[in-house]
């Protein structure tokens, strides 16, 4: 399996659901390879067998073998197995089944030309009041600085790193303040469009520490290629330290005042 993953140039995944996704990708590619070789061979054999030189007199019954029918049934069965046996259960687990918010790190994410911004609720676990009237390029989340719950909220703006602890579920609620972006963390195998006016949640669990790029996977304007944030996956202790320090530094409130 590792050999095939290398053949597909897949970088080693860094999320809990990544390995299953990569396996499925390998199976689909292997099936396509078999089909490519199989159908091409079938074509060459048909051209040779039915050539005029081999059949000077037309045969109105044509081929009598049922091989191609059986082959097609076989291919359909394998495709059904991939879909029902692998793809559907993987989707149910990796996409549909959300962890409880209380057991996860919840981050509001807003894409902006050309930056990724994050908003954490702060140590009190309560989101500060947000209103569109406060939203601006320096306050993309429209946080009300005078709201008591907002005082300890944290934001990281303009492609500053998002911190998350390793081995813990992370829920990102993805939105955009201008055009359609796409929140993609290639090594976490996470991709979700960021659509203005919508908040679309995704979840993943990082399996190793490190820095992981967030790219924008929708061409969103002149600075699209500069729209590169990153996740800093650290151990729980380091995350807690950053979280408290960042919150004490004034978090979202300080940015606004």
56-91 exposure pattern, b = at least 16 Cβ within 10 A, e = fewer: eeeeeeeeeeeeeeeeeeeeeebeeebeeebbeeee
From residue 47 to residue 86, the character string flagging contacts with Cu ion as x (rule: CB under 5 A) and all else as - is ----------------------------------------
Minimum distance, C-beta of residue 218 to Cu ion, in the bound complex (Å): 6
Minimum distance, C-beta of residue 184 to Cu ion, in the bound complex (Å): 10
CA distance linking residue 129 with residue 150, whole number of Å: 6
CA distance linking residue 102 with residue 149, whole number of Å: 17
Q: Hey, which residues does 229 pair with through a beta bridge?
A: 214
Using the contact rule CB under 5 A, the part of the chain among 37-45, 46-54, 197-205, 217-225 near Cu ion is 217-225
Q: Which distant-in-sequence residues (6+ apart) come within 8 Å of 176 by Cβ?
A: 110, 111, 112, 194, 195, 196
Tokens coding 173? 């609620």
For the chain, the distance separating the N- and C-terminal CA atoms, rounded to the nearest angstrom, is 54
Given the complex with Cu ion, which of 164 and 194 has the nearer CB atom? 194
Given the complex with Cu ion, which of 181 and 232 has the nearer CB atom? 181
Minimum distance, C-beta of residue 181 to Cu ion, in the bound complex (Å): 3
Number of residues that bind Cu ion (CB under 5 A): 4
237 contacts 166 by C-beta, under 8 angstroms = no
Site for Cu ion in 167-196 (CB under 5 A): 181
Centre a 10 Å sphere on the Cβ of residue 157 and count the other Cβ atoms it contains. Answer: 19
Question: Which residue spans within the chain are E strands per DSSP?
Answer: 105-112, 115-120, 154-156, 162-165, 169-176, 181-185, 190-194, 200-205, 210-216, 229-234
Given the complex with Cu ion, which of 162 and 239 has the nearer CB atom? 162
Q: Which of 94, 164, 227, 234 binds Cu ion (CB under 5 A)?
A: 227
Using the contact rule CB under 5 A, the part of the chain among 57-65, 116-124, 131-139, 215-223 near Cu ion is 215-223
Minimum distance, C-beta of residue 252 to Cu ion, in the bound complex (Å): 22
Q: Which of 145, 157, 220, 256 binds Cu ion (CB under 5 A)?
A: 220
Minimum distance, C-beta of residue 170 to Cu ion, in the bound complex (Å): 21
Minimum distance, C-beta of residue 177 to Cu ion, in the bound complex (Å): 11
Q: Is 216 in the site for Cu ion (CB under 5 A)?
A: yes
Residues that bind Cu ion (CB under 5 A): 181, 216, 220, 227
């Amino acid at each position: 399996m590792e050999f095939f993953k290398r053949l597909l140039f897949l970088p080693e995944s860094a999320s809990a659901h990544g390995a299953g996704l990569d396996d499925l990708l390998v199976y689909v590619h292997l099936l396509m390879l078999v089909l490519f070789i199989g159908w091409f061979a079938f074509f060459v054999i048909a051209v040779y067998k039915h050539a005029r030189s081999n059949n000077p007199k037309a045969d109105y019954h044509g081929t009598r073998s049922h091989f191609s029918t059986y082959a097609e049934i076989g291919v359909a069965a394998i495709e059904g197995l991939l879909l029902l046996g692998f793809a559907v259960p993987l989707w149910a687990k990796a996409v549909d089944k959300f962890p409880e918010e209380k057991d996860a790190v919840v981050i509001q994410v807003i894409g902006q030309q050309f930056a990724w911004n994050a908003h954490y609720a702060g140590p009190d676990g309560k989101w500060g009041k947000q209103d569109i009237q406060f939203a601006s390029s320096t306050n993309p989340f429209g946080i009300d600085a005078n709201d008591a719950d907002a005082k300890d909220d944290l934001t990281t703006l303009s492609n500053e790193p998002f911190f998350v602890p390793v081995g813990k579920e992370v829920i990102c609620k993805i939105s955009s303040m201008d055009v359609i972006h796409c929140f993609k963390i290639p090594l976490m195998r996470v991709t979700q469009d960021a659509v203005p006016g919508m908040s679309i949640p995704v979840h993943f669990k990082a399996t190793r520490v490190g820095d992981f790029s967030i790219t924008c996977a929708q061409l969103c304007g002149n600075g699209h290629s500069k729209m590169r944030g990153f996740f800093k996956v650290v151990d729980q202790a380091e995350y807690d330290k950053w979280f408290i320090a960042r919150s004490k530094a004034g978090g979202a409130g300080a940015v606004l005042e």
